[in-house]
Structure formats: C-alpha cells, structure tokens
Amino acid sequence: MKGYLSIRETSYKWGVSERRVNQYCTQGRIPGAERFGRSWAIPENAVKPADPRKANRTKEKDV
C-alpha cells in the first residue's frame, strides 16, 4: 500500500527487530498503524516510540 510500510521495512528503518515493531503496534504505541488481516500497515512518516527505560537512566544520572 502506498504511504505505508510493513513491519520488516519499519524495523530496518528504525534499527530494531521485527518483533519489537510488532510489539509497538500491538501496544498501540505507533499512531496510525492499522491491522490488515495478520499484517500491520505502518505510516511512512511514523516516528519510533521512545524507550521509557532510557528516560529513567537519564533521571538517575542527574540525581
């Protein structure tokens, strides 16, 4: 589909595993991602969700 990427394409773009992108989709962390049958369609302009674990590390360093 035009304007959308697959999980595989998105994983290459963001530098994460396909499983991780699938988890983002399932958790609803990618706005505009839609399920079509057994596949996900992710908007081309979607931004990689932030990792909440990394936010905690920076707070710990500041303390």
pLDDT at 44: 95
Q: What are phi and psi of 61, to 5 degrees?
A: -70, -35
Whether 63 shows a pLDDT value over 60: the answer reads no
- CA 54 to chain CA centroid, Å, is 16
52: pLDDT confidence band, cut at 50, 70 and 90?
Answer: confident
CA distance 49 to 21: 10
For residue range 9-43, list pLDDT tens digits in order.
999 999 999 999 999 999 999 999 999 999 999 99
Q: Report the alpha-carbon distance of residue 56 to residue 36 in Å, rounded.
A: 35
pLDDT at position 54 is: 79
State the Cα–Cα distance between residues 34 and 43, nearest whole angstrom. 9
Q: What is the DSSP letter of 17?
A: -
